[in-house]
Amino acid sequence: MKTLRFVLIVLLFSAAAFAQIQETPPPEPQTLPEQTAVTKDLGLGAFANENGPILLVIDTALVTRMLDNPYVMFYAYMAAKDLNQNISVAAKDIVIVYKGQEFGLPSVKELRANYHGIMRDFNLYRQLGREGVKFSWVRFYDFLHAPNFYPVLDLRSDLATDEGHMYGIYGFRTPLYFKNPGLAKGDTLVFKVRDVKNPNLTGECAVILQ
């Protein structure tokens, strides 16, 4: 008899608990924050972002070999995502965000006065394979020989330009020098660029120094 009473009590508690579970509404699904910038690791030190109006590839292959330099050279490839849109990017509007601080490009005058490795950097970068860059969106665009922000100083070099222009299938490529803020392997940086006239035409690309 005691056993039967115990079983009945257990069944009553189980029924009550089940009813309470049924009455409790299920939790609402969590909404993940929208990702506005997605950067692809292309390998060999190259990174790409195709999400903004300005497509970006940043090549860090040379930087990771010369982290002790007072100035470090990245290489950037830019293009307009909309082939019907003309975009111009000024050197003064390109920055990196590093450890919460923004750093801009030095002037050509400052770089040439304080750093004498530009020719060496250029020759070394030409020897790198750049396979990661070649298999990105870059292969769908044409990068004409045109003045860039930091041309080498020789008899055949172009004058430095203050702006890079992109239109249709034609992109813009250029070295990007920054005064070294203390970069080290494993550091993350974010590159930001924008059109000179329309601040809504932007591009961003995060890179990791590997």
- Residue 156 confidence (pLDDT): 66
- Residue 6 confidence (pLDDT): 41
Structure tokens at 52: 């903004």
What residues form DSSP beta bridges with 58?
Answer: 47, 76
Query: Vertex 55, ends 54 and 59: CA angle to 5°?
Result: 125
For the chain, domain boundaries: 39-208
Distance of CA 180 to the CA centre of its chain: 18
- Residue 111 confidence (pLDDT): 96
Contacts 24+ apart (CB under 8 A), 190-194: 190/96, 190/97, 191/56, 191/58, 191/74, 191/76, 191/94, 191/95, 191/96, 192/94, 192/95, 192/96, 192/97, 193/54, 193/56, 193/76, 193/78, 193/89, 193/93, 193/94, 194/54, 194/89, 194/93
pLDDT by residue for the chain (210 residues), tens only, comes to 444 444 334 444 444 444 443 444 443 333 323 333 479 999 999 999 999 999 999 999 999 999 999 999 999 999 999 999 999 999 999 999 999 999 999 999 999 999 999 999 999 999 987 888 998 999 999 998 889 999 987 656 678 999 999 999 999 999 999 999 999 999 999 999 999 999 999 999 999 999
Q: How far apart are CA 45 and CA 54, in angstroms?
A: 20
- Residue 89 confidence (pLDDT): 98
Write the secondary structure of 84-117 as one string of H (helix), E (strand) and C (coil).
CCCEEEEHHHCEEEECCEEEECCCHHHHHHHCCC
Cβ(74)–Cβ(175) below 8 Å: yes
